[in-house]
Amino acid sequence: MSDFPERKPIAHPTGNAPWIGTGWKMNKTLGEAREYARDLRAYVAATDLAATVFIVPPFTVLSNVCEELEGSPVLVGAQNAHWEDTGAYTGEISCRMVADCGAEMLEIGHSERRRCFSETDVTVHLKVRAALRHGLRPLICVGETAEERAHGVAVDTVNRQVAFALHGLSAGDALRCALAYEPVWAIGEGGSPASPDEANLMHAAIRRRVSELFGAKAARNIPLLYGGSVTSENAAGFLREPEVDGLFIGRAAWSCEGFLEILGLAERYRAGAS
């Protein structure tokens, strides 16, 4: 039993409304973050937006962004957290602290965390459990390297990451998670996006694995997002794929204008106009 108030229930996706979000990585000052959040809030308020929208700012502006978006439908997440609630972990942030800021999501296992900060499948699992314990929705990033794809083990690699991250969870807790397929070779400046067909095939493989672990209901209802060099030019192509439930966007959405452009594309596509 945790020693803080329970968080509000986490909504599940409905129908074909996509999930559209962005992670800011190590970008934005307080003033820049507030301006972005205010512009996003105004856009969402003025638009009949069916998508589930989320942003993942850095720790230094997390509480401020949560404050700016309080009462709006936009979800806010943190980019990382430790699996322990308190302790002598200099420089770390706990899930309890993230929840206290007002955030509702936690990004876990991004390939940059794995490569640069020694994140492992085991620590990803620990963080998933900690996030759930504190009422946060885990956004679990999975993806293979170019070498793993070249050696024919891309699906095995991604399914291993999924199984580790969700190990031991109940079907109900699994339904509180979201998964973002982000092939390592597609991420960052100079990355090449997967084709929509490649993304769809991997999402289908992930969905089969989730079904094996938790049943068909979880496989249908856990959001599976694609991330990796998403732009306004290719976003609609990914959203047309039947297994892709949404997008986790990087640098193309670091400006609010860029994010709003992709949100507009998603809405037009859903309405049958693209």
Rg (CA), the chain: 17
- Give the Cα separation of 229 and 226 in Å (integer): 10
Catalytic option among 110, 125, 134, 203:
110
H or E stretch covering 247: strand 246-249
Residue by residue, DSSP assigns the chain as: --SSPPPPPPPPP-TTPPEEEEE--S---HHHHHHHHHHHHHHHHHS---SEEEEE--HHHHHHHHHHHTTSS-EEEES--BSSSSSS-TT--BHHHHHHTT--EEEE--HHHHHHH---HHHHHHHHHHHHHTTPEEEEEE---HHHHHTT-HHHHHHHHHHHHHTT--HHHHTT-EEEE--GGGSSTT--PPPHHHHHHHHHHHHHHHHHHH-HHHHHHS-EEE-SS--TTTHHHHHTSTT--EEEE-GGGSSHHHHHHHHHHHHHHHTT--
Tokens 């049943």 belong to 215
User: Catalytic residue at 12?
Assistant: no
- Catalytic residue, chosen from 107, 112, 144, 182, is 182
Residue 172 φ then ψ, to 5°: -65, -40
Active-site residue set: 110, 182
